[in-house]
Structure 1
Amino acid sequence: MPKDNISTALTVLFAFLIVIAFFHQWILTY
């Protein structure tokens, strides 16, 4: 159970980081 929880948390964190990086790049280009 804990392993699955950590995996899900890592996936969500990674997606969040990608979204933030994308927005940051968009703001920089704009």
Structure 2
Amino acid sequence: MDKAHAHHTPKSRSPATTLLSTTPPFRSTHP
């Protein structure tokens, strides 16, 4: 439960983080 909560906290805090996590190519484009 702790892990799930921690994973949801950053996503809810910063929408940009979700995009980075959801977009694998984005990380490759921005090394």
Give me the TM-score of the superposition, normalised by structure 1: 0.42
Give the structure with higher Rg (CA): 1
Q: Does 1 or 2 have the higher relative contact order (CA < 8 Å, sep 6+)?
A: 2
More helix by share: 1
